[in-house]
Amino acid sequence: MSAYNANWSLMTPEIVLGILALVIFTIDFMTGVKGKKPFLGRMSIIALLVTAVLVYINRGAGTIADIFIVDHFSTMFKIILLVGVAIVIAISMHYLDKNDDVYQGEFYSLMLFAALGAMLMVSSADLITLYIGLELLSISSYCLAGFKKHNRKSTEGAIKYVVLGGTASAFILYGMSFLYGLTGTTSIIDISQVISSLYVDYPFIVVMSILFMLAGFGFKISIVPFHMWAPDVYEGSPTPVTAFLSVVSKIAGFAIVLRVFFTTFLGSEGVLYDEWTWIIAIIATVTMIVGNLIALTQKNIKRLMAYSGVAQAGYLLVPIAAIFIPSYSIGVIIFYSIVYVFMTLGAFAIITLVTEDSGRDDFSSFSGLYKRSPYMAIAMSVFLLGLAGLPLTAGFVGKAWIFISAAQAGMLWLAGVMFVTSVISFYYYFGVIKQMFMNEPNPNDVELKAPLSISVVVTIALAVTIILGVLPGLMIDWIAYIQW
Amino acid sequence: MGLGVYFDNYIFVLLFMFLGVALPVGALTFGRLVRPNNPYPTKLTTYESGIEPTGDAQVRYHVAYYIVALEFVIFDVETVFLYPWAVALGELGWVGLNAGLIFIAILGLGLAYSWKKKVLEWN
């Protein structure tokens, strides 16, 4: 089937989002360069939700000329990502309202282009499509990270991000070039059919390809030892962009790791699986330990979230290493991704609210938040406890399922590492909670009034975190029986 | 076929690397051996289109230069794509025509954007 007579309607959501992003971009520069533009934020949220509905309507199976694939896996990840970006934009509207000096329209259109890149990535059935989606996401993220262009830290973070991100992309391309050299095709599906026999002849080159691609993708999902950029970039970026990087970039990165490793590198008889599963297990162990231990020493809330995000990436790697049935592992990861998106974005909504109010982003800005805004303090506690994995929150259910999946695959030691590091993480999450409840507010901090967008985001995230924590069956029953 | 055969193919790469280094080095060395050597100050000055050189080469460029250079590269690459597209248009048909037009339209939006942002004004 060639690109001419393919079923292009499968790509409708992407095309619609692309057109809407261009329309918003055009409206932005036609209405003047500067000034507040809240209507563009509202339009962007509507555009993303419309696209999410289109993704749902278009679900099902099909490919376009073996370059673009629509299946349950891509549909689910696209909806998670689109909802995530919509929430990030809701948070951004408050941030941009407080920061007049930031160009507003470009911010929204860059977010939409990044969302488009993430969608292409998730749906790619071809290494080139995957790479184009990845670059669209990455380049938009580089611009967004440096969006406060008169701020030294933002510029520093953006430069670090673009240089290291470019290096990571080069690693991915180098890994892909080995695969292309061996098989003569860039199609993930075609490669997966011949990789087992090629592995017998060229074990060294196939393993090199796996390692190079793992290093490149590892940078995008910030796993140790490729995590060094995360704290600096997270600290320097505008807070909503930090939320974007820690949620959308990371989840999209995990989606392609799953796609590439579970399709291409699984091999037909699981020959290749033994080759990389222990590598990922070791990386997951190191990621969980390093992420959680360094987080203990942080005094800045955004750096804390960066290391916490590194640790969370480690937890998400566990089901990839402990691959017992691929479809089952994917279900576990999708459930934890959903939970992670809502908990992290809820926390970031409150972080944006608090840090923009005080102008500082160390822990002291959270002092006495309970007296200033009880609802926000309680919600923040729930999100942090969820990230730590306390029972009755969705985070506990997600972690418990990861734990069980690791135990079922016979990797009990990996589950043990996860359990111990989770306990360590309680310490730093409780540090923030202690600031909010036990300390007095700073003298010049008065009652904190949340704007509508932040309140809505926090309430939705809180509802999901608690409902999925108390009644996890609502989602698990449904996810566990889909053949991804 | 095994690893050995795979790496044997790299012999041609090594050969090209060797030739790539050997040819310029050999030519310059040969030239140095046979040419007369008679330097004088005027001959050693930097040649720049017959204009007398002034100042240092390490000057700061106007920051606007980089943005204009970026614009130039984008539209330069566009022409690179448009030539083969125009040549093959007969075979590509309507699908190819539409794809090319969408590509041009997106770049056109980019041009309108930079126009509005006053990138094209030099001061």
Instruction: Give the pLDDT confidence of A18-41 residue by residue, as tens digits.
Output: 999 999 999 988 887 777 888 899
Instruction: Give the pLDDT confidence of B35-89 residue by residue, as tens digits.
Output: 888 888 888 887 777 777 777 778 887 888 888 888 899 899 999 989 999 999 8
Contact criterion met (CB below 8 Å) for A116 and A17: yes
**A275 Cα to chain B: minimum distance (Å):** 18
Amino acid at A107: F
pLDDT band at A404 (very low <50, low <70, confident <90, very high): very high
> Which of residues 88 through 117 in chain B touch A, CB cutoff 8 A?
93, 95, 106, 109, 112-113, 116-117
CA distances from A76 to A70, A334, A451, A476, B37 (A): 10, 8, 30, 14, 74
The pLDDT of residue A6 is above 80: no
What HEC string does B56-115 produce?
Answer: CCCCCCCHHHHHHHHHHHHHHHHHHHHHHHHHCHHHHHHHHHHHHHHHHHHHHHHHHHHH
The DSSP secondary structure of A83-151, one letter per residue, reads: HHHHHHHHHHHHHHHH-TTS-HHHHHHHHHHHHHHHHHHHHB-BHHHHHHHHHHHHHHHHHHHT-STT-
pLDDT band at A174 (very low <50, low <70, confident <90, very high): very high
Q: Report chain A's mean pLDDT, rounded to a whole number.
A: 90
Residues, chain A, total?
484
pLDDT of residue B123: 67
**Pairwise CB contact (< 8 Å): A29 & B117:** yes
pLDDT of residue A1: 45
Instruction: Give the pLDDT confidence of A434-472 residue by residue, as tens digits.
Output: 999 998 888 777 788 889 999 999 999 999 999 999 998
pLDDT of residue A358: 85
The pLDDT of residue B1 is above 60: no
Q: Report chain B's mean pLDDT, rounded to a whole number.
A: 86
Collect all residues from A whose CB is shorter than 8 A from any CB in B. Answer: 3-4, 22, 25-26, 29-30, 33, 201-202, 204-205
Least confident interval from A9-13, A422-426, B59-63: B59-63
Q: Which residue in chain A is spatially nearest to B3 when comparing CA positions?
A: A202
Amino acid at A191: I
ipTM: 0.78
CB proximity list for A15: less than 8 A, separation 6 or greater: none
The pLDDT of residue B110 is above 80: yes
Instruction: Give the pLDDT confidence of A269-299 residue by residue, as tens digits.
Output: 666 777 788 899 999 999 999 999 999 999 9
**Pairwise CB contact (< 8 Å): A201 & B95:** no
pLDDT band at A261 (very low <50, low <70, confident <90, very high): confident
pTM summary value: 0.90
Q: Of residues A412 and A99, which shows the higher confidence score? A: A412
pLDDT of residue A4: 64
**Residue A53 is inside which H or E element, if any?**
helix A38-57
Contact criterion met (CB below 8 Å) for A55 and A79: yes
Instruction: Give the pLDDT confidence of A62-78 residue by residue, as tens digits.
Output: 888 788 899 889 999 99
The pLDDT of residue A3 is above 80: no
Contact criterion met (CB below 8 Å) for A205 and A182: yes
**Pairwise CB contact (< 8 Å): A202 & B113:** no
Instruction: Give the pLDDT confidence of A342-367 residue by residue, as tens digits.
Output: 999 999 999 999 998 888 888 888 88
CATH topology of domain B3-116: Methane Monooxygenase Hydroxylase; Chain G, domain 1 (1.20.58)
**Pairwise CB contact (< 8 Å): A25 & B113:** yes
Joined tokens for residue A379: 């919600």
**Measured distance CA(A186)–CA(A192) in Å, rounded:** 11
Which residues of chain A does B112 touch, with a Cβ-Cβ cutoff of 8 Å? 26, 29
Of A110, A48, A53, whose CA–CA distance to A84 is shortest? A48
Q: Of residues A61 and A352, which shows the higher confidence score? A: A352
The pLDDT of residue A400 is above 90: yes
Q: Decide the pairing of beta strands A62-64 and A68-70.
A: antiparallel
The residue ranges of every structural domain in chain B are 3-116
pLDDT of residue A409: 87
**Measured distance CA(A455)–CA(A354) in Å, rounded:** 13
